[in-house]
Structure 1
C-alpha cells in the first residue's frame, strides 16, 4: 500500500469512527440539558480525558511550540510549568464547590451558574455576552487545523478551513456533549501516543546536554528570563502571569462546565487525577519548539513551526510518510477535541443565557442550540479567513479577557459562603476585563497574559476590599 493510499484510508477510517461515536451520542441526546452536559452517566475517567484533550488542543499541539521555538526556555516555563501548576490549583480549589452549587441549581453553563449564585439576570447576561469572546479561540483552532490539513493534502488554507469546519460541526450537531466526550476520548488516546513518540524521537537533538544544547542557540534562549524576548523576560511575565492566567482560564465555559458532567462528588478525585496525568503528558508537545530550533529549521511564520518540523523529520522516507499521516491526523484531532467542546458550550450558553431570558422559551432549545452552532461556525470562518500574523496572541487577547472578568465572580462564588453584594463582583468583573484590554491594546504590554494578570490583581483587590467593607451586611430580604 502506498503512503498516499494509506493516508486516504486512514482519514476515512478516522472520519467514520468519529461519525459512529457521534451517532451513539445522538441516540442519547433528547433534551438541551443532555446536549449541553450529558445525563450525568459518564465515567470520571472519560470526563478527565475529555477535559485534558480540551485543555491541550491546537494551542498546545500546534501554536504554542512556535513560542518555544522563538523565545526558548522562558516560553516553555510559562506554558509548561507555570501553566500546569495553574491548572492543578484551579481544579483543587474550585471543582467541589462548583459541582455542588451547579447541581443544586441544575446549571448548564457558567452564566447560568452565575445567575443561581448571585440571583441577578442582568449579571448573568453580562457574562453570557463576554463569554462570546471564546470565538477568538475558535479562530485559533480553525487556523491551526487548516495549517495541518495543508501539510496533509494538496489544498490551499482557505479550502482546508472550510473542510475542518464542516467536519467538526457536522458531528457535534449530531450528538452534542456525548459526541464531544466520546470523540475526545478517542482523540485523547491518539494524542497521548503521538506525544510520547515525538518526545522520544526528538530528544536526540540535546545530545545528552539539555542546557548546553539550548545555550548553543544563545545564552538568553537558555535563560528562564529571556532579556531578548518581548513576551517572557522576568518573573512576572514567565511564572506569575502564566500561573494566574491559566488558573483563570479554567473558568472558561468549555472547561469548568466539564465538572457538571460528573455524577457526584465521589468522582472528583478520579476526574482530577486523570486530567492532571494526561494533561502533563500533553505538555511535552512544547518540546517540539526546542527540537525544531536545534535541528536548524528555518520558518517564515512562527505558527507553522510544528507543521514544517514534522514534514522535515518524517517526509523524506517511506516509513516516515506513513508515520506522518497518523501524526497529522492526531494533531487535527487535538484541535477538534477543543473546538467541539467550545461549540457545545457556546451554543448551550446562547440558548439558555441569552435567547431564553430575553425571548422566553417559545423556541425548541435543542433545535435552537444546533442552529446557534451554525452561526458560530460562520462567524469563526469569517474571522479566520485572513488571520493575523500571530494567531496565538490574537486568541489570547479575547480569551484572557474572559478569564480576567470571570475569576472573582466564580472564585468568590465558590469560596465565600455568605451573601456577596452584587456591586462587589460586578465591579471586579468589569475592572478585570477593562484593564486587560486597556493595557494590551493601548498600554504597550504585548503579552496578553501580563495585561490580564494586572487586570485580575486589580479586580481581586477591589473584590476583597468590597468583602471587607460589607462583612456585616445582610442581603435585603434577610434584613
Structure 2
C-alpha cells in the first residue's frame, strides 16, 4: 500500500473525524427524539425551511460519484468526460427535477405516500406495483456500494490505513446512526454537509488556477502534451465517451430519468406547503450547478499525475481524486477538502439508507406479516426495530460487495453502480412520468413499459448487443438509455391503444 499522507496529516485527519462524528451524532439524537412513527422516520415530523430541504436535495443528488469517482473519469479521458458528466447530464437532470417535482409532490401529499413504491402503487391503485417497486429498489444497493468504496478510498489514503478496517468503520458508524435519526436528523446533517461541500467545491475548482497562467489555450496545451485525446469532445479510445450518441443522447435520457430515484424525488414531500416549492427548487438548482462542476478538478488531477502513477505504481481510477487531494493540498486545506469529500458521500448514503430501509420495511416485509404484528401500543416500536434490523442487514451486504469492488472493480466501481441504479430509474421512469402528466394512464401500460425497460437494459448489457457492448468494460448508460426509450415507446403505444379502446365503451354507455 502506498503511504501518501504524512504523519501530521494522519493525526490531524483522525482528530477531525472524531469532531465530525460528534457533530453528526448531536443532530441524530436531536432528530431521533421527535420520531413517533414510521412516517416520522420516512418523511420527517419537523417543519424544515425550503432552503434547508433544497440544500439537503443538492447534497443527496451529488454524492461520492460526483466528488470522488467521476473526476477520475475526467482525469482518464479528458474533455469528452467533462462534456458528458459535467455539462449534458447535469443540465438534463436539473431541468427534469424542476418539471417533475411539482406534479409528484401534489399526488404524494394527497395520498401521504412514505416511499416511491407507495406513490406509484397509490397513483395506479395497485398493491402489486407497490410490491414490484419495493423489490426493485434493492438495485439501489449498488449505489450504496459506490459511496462506501469512494469514502474508503479517501479515508484509507488520508489515514495511511488498509481499506478493509476503514470500510467496516464507515459502514458501522453511518448505518448505525441512521437506525435512529431518519428524515428528521438527515435534513439537519445534509444541510451542514451541503454547506461544507460548497466551500470544498470552490477550493477544488480553484486549486488548479496556476495552470491557466497562459490562458485557456495554455491549459489545453498542457493536456494535449500528455495525450491529445484529452482535449477532444469525443474520445474513441474510452469506454464511455466514444461519440456524441454516448456523450449527448444517452446522457440527456439518463439525466431526465435520474431524478426518478426514491432518495431524490421524495425529498419534496418534506416541504410543508406548496408556496415553498419554488424556493426549494431554486436553492437546489443553484447549489447543484456548483457541485456538478467539481468534476472539472479531474483535469487538474491528470496534470498532477500525467502518467497516472504514484510512487512508481499504477494509480487506479477510483483513487485518483483522493490521491490528488492528499498530495497537492497543505495539511489544513487538505483536511477541509477531505471533510467535503466525506460529506459528499455521507449525505447521499444517509438518504439511500433512509429511503431504501423504509421501502424494504414498509413495502416488502410488512405486507408479508400479519397486521396484528404492528397493531396496538407496541406496534410502532416493533416496526422501528424491524427497520433497524433491515439497516443492519444492508450494512453487512454493503461491506461484502464494497470490499469485492475494492479488489476486483472493472475500471471503476461506477460501472457496477450504474448498472443497478440505471436499471431502477429506467423501470420507474414511465410509471412516474405517466403518473404525473397523464391523468388517465392505464395500469397495464405503465407496468408493461416498466418491465420492457428492465428487459432491454439487461438484455443489451449482458447480451452484449449493439457495437457499444463489445469491449471488456461496457457502458450502462447506453443500455439504460435504450431501455428508457423502448419503455416510453411501448408505454405510449399501449396508452393510445387502450385509451382509444375505452372510447367506444364510453359512447355505448352514454347511448344506453
The interval holding the TM-score normalised by the smaller chain is: over 0.9
4+ runs deviating over 6 angstroms: none
Per the alignment, residue 89 of structure 1 pairs with 95
Equivalent-residue separation in structure 1 for 2:370 and 2:354 (angstroms): 21
Equivalent-residue separation in structure 1 for 2:187 and 2:32 (angstroms): 12
How much does 1:65 deviate?
A: 0.5
Equivalent-residue separation in structure 1 for 2:15 and 2:464 (angstroms): 51
Equivalent-residue separation in structure 2 for 1:360 and 1:212 (angstroms): 68
1:443 to 455, 460, 464: 464
Root mean square deviation, CA, Å: 2.0
Encode CA deviations 1:274-295: one digit per residue, 9 max, x unaligned.
1111111112220121001122
How much does 1:248 deviate?
A: 1.1
1:376 to 394, 409, 414: 394
Unpaired segments of 5 or more residues in structure 2? 1-6, 375-381
Per the alignment, residue 378 of structure 2 pairs with none
Contact kept in structure 1, 2:10 and 2:158, CA below 8 Å: no
Equivalent-residue separation in structure 2 for 1:2 and 1:64 (angstroms): 29
Aligned length: 473
How much does 1:40 deviate?
A: 5.8
Equivalent-residue separation in structure 1 for 2:14 and 2:486 (angstroms): 53
Equivalent-residue separation in structure 1 for 2:197 and 2:424 (angstroms): 27
Per the alignment, residue 452 of structure 1 pairs with 480
Equivalent-residue separation in structure 1 for 2:61 and 2:224 (angstroms): 31
Give yes or no for the alignment of 1:224 onto 2:239. Answer: no
Contact kept in structure 2, 1:40 and 1:262, CA below 8 Å: no
1:426 to 442, 447, 450: 447
Equivalent-residue separation in structure 2 for 1:64 and 1:451 (angstroms): 19
Equivalent-residue separation in structure 1 for 2:391 and 2:67 (angstroms): 25
How much does 1:197 deviate?
A: 1.0
| 3-state DSSP of counterpart to 2:208 | helix
How much does 1:229 deviate?
A: 1.9
Give yes or no for the alignment of 1:354 onto 2:375. Answer: no
What TM-score comes out, normalization by structure 1 length?
Answer: 0.95
1:302 to 294, 317, 321: 317
Per the alignment, residue 122 of structure 1 pairs with 128
How much does 1:455 deviate?
A: 0.5
Equivalent-residue separation in structure 2 for 1:183 and 1:287 (angstroms): 26
| 3-state DSSP of counterpart to 2:499 | coil
Give yes or no for the alignment of 1:342 onto 2:352. Answer: yes
Per the alignment, residue 3 of structure 2 pairs with none
What TM-score comes out, normalization by structure 2 length?
Answer: 0.89
Contact kept in structure 2, 1:98 and 1:414, CA below 8 Å: yes
Contact kept in structure 2, 1:203 and 1:291, CA below 8 Å: no
Per the alignment, residue 224 of structure 2 pairs with 215
How much does 1:3 deviate?
A: 5.1
How much does 1:386 deviate?
A: 1.6
Encode CA deviations 1:415-456: one digit per residue, 9 max, x unaligned.
0012x2222111110111111111112225221111100011
Per the alignment, residue 190 of structure 2 pairs with 184
Unpaired segments of 5 or more residues in structure 1? 315-319
Encode CA deviations 1:154-212: one digit per residue, 9 max, x unaligned.
32101010010011112211211112111111111111101101111213224422443
